[in-house]
Amino acid sequence: MRSTTSETDLARLLQRFFYQRLQQQQHLSARTVASYRDSFRLLFRFAEQHLGRDISTLCLHDLDASLVLAFLDHLETHRHNCIRSRNARFAAIRAFLHYVALQEPAFLAQVQRVLAIPMKRFERPLVGFLSRDEMDAILAAPDASTWTGQRDHLLFLLLYNTGARVSELINIRRGDVDTQHAQAVQLHGKGRKERVVPLWKRTAQKLDEWVATLSSDRTQPILLNRGGQPMSRSGVEQRLQLAVSQASANCPALKGRRVSPHVIRHTTAMHLLQSGVDLTVIALWLGHEQVATTHQYLVADLDMNERALASLQPPETMTLRFVPKPDVLAFLDSL
């Protein structure tokens, strides 16, 4: 029979996990905490339907391996989440259960059974990126005679120049722009990692002109929507899709292509690599924590692979040198 204490364990531990563990002890970013929160919202809504009980009656005993497995299957089959999203939701649950094991050792066996569920493996597709002509067509698509067109041109130019993630781009403030003719911009990346990215001359010029039209407030976002609010992720996506549609009239290769802001990030990396920029510099440019993450661009660059292959000497033209096997007895006799 379940004790009265166990009925409230889940709510009590979850509250302490978010406020003490994630925010105070680990000091995770607000974006990471929000992601964990959304994962548990989905889990509890599923548990309510799966168990046929109100959320307020859920307890730690309910959070067992069978429920978690059913929830992960629900994410893929009913919500049509990709495997990466499924693994991200599961990572939040695992983090909480690690905390539960420390706080409530009596539940250790139950926790271990859930933690024994493996992360699901997935195929990593080759990196998709744009050619220089395709990227130039997108940059030229916005109408430079309108306010929206000027903003969109700067938006795409910053995406291409910095290789920033959308979350990094829409959070750029006036204070993040180098005050001396906008020669660099500071990006606030994942996990509170910050980096400064140099700007090309044409980007610096456009940004300098645009910043001059904004208020002097250093916290002023530089990319705004029509309502004067910071652009959203969906807003950036919509403006990019419109530009791709317009650019396809002059660049047929763009017709039917799915171009996301992250594709432009890949495009930045590929064009830097093709220009001879070292992988370590590209890793710093993109904010990769490990250079191994940047190695995917080497695999994706077919032209570079073909050039490397052409530089190898064909086997039939190679001169093989045979070294005669030494006479061990003669060597020993000489000693």
Q: Which residues are catalytic?
A: 165, 190, 262, 265, 288, 297
What stretch of H or E contains 194? strand 194-198
Helix ranges (DSSP H) in the chain: 4-16, 30-51, 65-77, 83-103, 108-115, 132-140, 147-162, 166-170, 201-211, 233-247, 261-274, 279-286, 291-294, 296-300, 302-311, 328-333
First to last CA, the chain: 86
Instruction: Pull the structure tokens for residue 226.
Output: 């029509």
Long-range contacts of 11-17 (CB under 8 A, 24+ apart): 13/60, 13/96, 13/99, 13/100, 13/103, 13/104, 14/40, 14/96, 16/103, 17/96, 17/99
